[in-house]
Amino acid sequence: MNRLKAALAAAVILLATAQVEAASEPHPVPLLKFHRDCVIKAFELNYGSFQRQLQDLHVACMTDRAYIDWRSSLERAGYIDQLKNGKNKLVLAANVGAGAVISEGMRELASKKRYTATIKSPVQVVLNGDTSRSRNGYIETDVIRVRQSDRIVGYAIHAIRLNIKK
């Protein structure tokens, strides 16, 4: 019985500690985690299955508009052609730093007001695992609140902007 009481007391202390830590964070962890996970997924492409990977990204993370813009950006940068050409065996990846919310509030999107947070993160784009030739910069996303029936996490990327130093 004493062990049960001790275990229960420890669980209560852990729960209280987690609640205090969560309350001290200025922004909800799921928002920043969603941003980071989706940015990693946006760059996690390889020559063998990039079409499926892009579709998975669209379903899990992006609105239709953001997906079309992101795919166009990859095409303009020449990554899609390199991925299509199996001879190069391109594998694209990114190392993403901690994100910070740089603005947030209600914005008018398609005649509806939605909560929107703009999050900025440092990013290192890596081709074929060669970090010596990586390109560094920043990525910004506009993350909006959506119905959980559309996406279980309740967020979607509505815009994505990449600023890479050449």
Residue 19 within a domain: no
Residue type for position 143: V
Residue 79 sits in a domain whose CATH number is: 3.10.450.540
Structural domain contains residue 13: no
The per-residue pLDDT of the chain, averaged, comes to 81
Q: Does residue 111 lie in a domain region? A: yes
pTM for the whole structure: 0.76
Which pLDDT value is given to residue 24? 43
Asked if the structure places residue 16 within a domain, the reply is: no
Do 128 and 89 touch, CB atoms closer than 8 A? Answer: yes
pLDDT above 60 for 18: no
Instruction: Evaluate whether residue 146 is within a structural domain.
Output: yes
H or E, element range at 95: strand 91-96
How does pLDDT run across 63-91, given as a tens digit for each residue? 999 999 999 988 888 888 888 876 777 78
What tokens were used for 45? 């492409």
Inside any domain, residue 114: yes
Q: Where are the alpha helices (DSSP H) in 62-153?
A: 64-76, 79-84
Domain hosting 68: range is 25-164
> Strand, coil or helix: what is 87?
coil
pLDDT digits (tens, 9 = 90+) for 143-164: 998 887 777 788 999 999 988 8
122 is a domain residue: yes
Structural domains in the chain (count): 1
